[in-house]
């Protein structure tokens, strides 16, 4: 399966207890786990704004998470549309500025250099996970990502695999609503796929944790 390119402080405090004239024992405080970073994505259809939260997985996909956060922190995704809805499969965006029409796909927004593919590290393309789109070249992912709308675990290995780097942990109802939004066929999408119309446009993608 080919995802088209039209188309990611723990402190150990050592406390020394000393008694007068006597020795002391050192007690280590428990190490508090570092929470995984989160990104809140706000999307509009031109009338209503809705948000969902992606919790990232830097332990399993450090390169992919750092790449995604680089785009987020620069505001790169602002104004980008979700250009591909494959019903029951994926919702893909991250490459093209709105507005998008049905007859011609504009040139992709210039992205940063491609990154290495991170697969086989315990993350799977299950429903509501977020993964990187790429061409048939393994190390070709840049800015485009997709949300799995079903358990697409075959994507873990298909054609070399597709890198999952997070999961929608809040706002899954928003993703469900996107699936039922108006969507039309275009000249540049595969049969059975459609362009959300009105466009679903990212207003902001902000790191919120």
3-state secondary structure string across 117-136: CCCCCCCCCCCCEEEECCCC
User: What local confidence, expressed as pLDDT, does residue 26 receive?
Assistant: 52
Q: What is the mean pLDDT of residues 136-153?
A: 98
What local confidence, expressed as pLDDT, does residue 6 receive? 41
- Mean pLDDT of the 146-170 span: 98
Distance, in Å, from the CA atom of 150 to the CA atom of 50, rounded to the nearest integer, reads 21
Quick: pLDDT tens for 116-127: 999 999 999 999
For β-strands 14-16 and 26-28, DSSP reports them as: antiparallel
Which is higher by pLDDT, 107 or 73?
73
The domain locations on the chain are: 36-207
Q: Which two tokens stand for residue 84?
A: 């591909």
State whether residue 61 is helix, strand or coil: coil
Q: How many CA atoms lie within 13 A of 170 on its CB side?
A: 12
Per-residue pLDDT reduced to its tens digit, 3-13: 444 443 333 33
Top-level class of domain 36-207? mainly beta
Asked, as a colleague might, if the bond just before 198 is cis with ω within 30 of 0, I would say yes
């Amino acid at each position: 399966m080919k995802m088209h390119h039209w188309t990611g402080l723990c402190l150990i405090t050592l406390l020394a207890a000393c008694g007068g004239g006597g020795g002391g024992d050192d007690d280590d405080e428990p190490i508090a786990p570092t929470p995984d970073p989160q990104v809140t994505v706000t999307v509009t259809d031109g009338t209503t704004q809705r948000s969902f939260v992606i919790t990232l997985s830097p332990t399993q996909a450090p390169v992919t998470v750092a790449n995604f956060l680089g785009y987020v922190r620069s505001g790169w995704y602002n104004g980008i549309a979700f250009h591909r809805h494959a019903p029951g499969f994926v919702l893909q965006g991250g490459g093209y500025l709105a507005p998008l029409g049905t007859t011609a796909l504009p040139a992709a927004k210039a992205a940063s250099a491609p990154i290495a593919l991170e697969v086989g590290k315990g993350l799977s393309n299950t429903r509501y996970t977020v993964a990187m789109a790429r061409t048939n070249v393994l190390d070709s992912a840049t800015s485009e990502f997709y949300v799995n709308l079903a358990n697409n675990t075959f994507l873990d290995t298909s054609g070399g695999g597709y890198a999952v780097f997070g999961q929608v942990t809040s706002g899954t109802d928003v993703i469900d609503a996107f699936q039922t939004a108006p969507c039309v066929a275009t000249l540049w999408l595969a049969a059975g796929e459609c362009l959300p119309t009105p466009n679903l446009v990212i207003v902001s993608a902000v790191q919120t944790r």
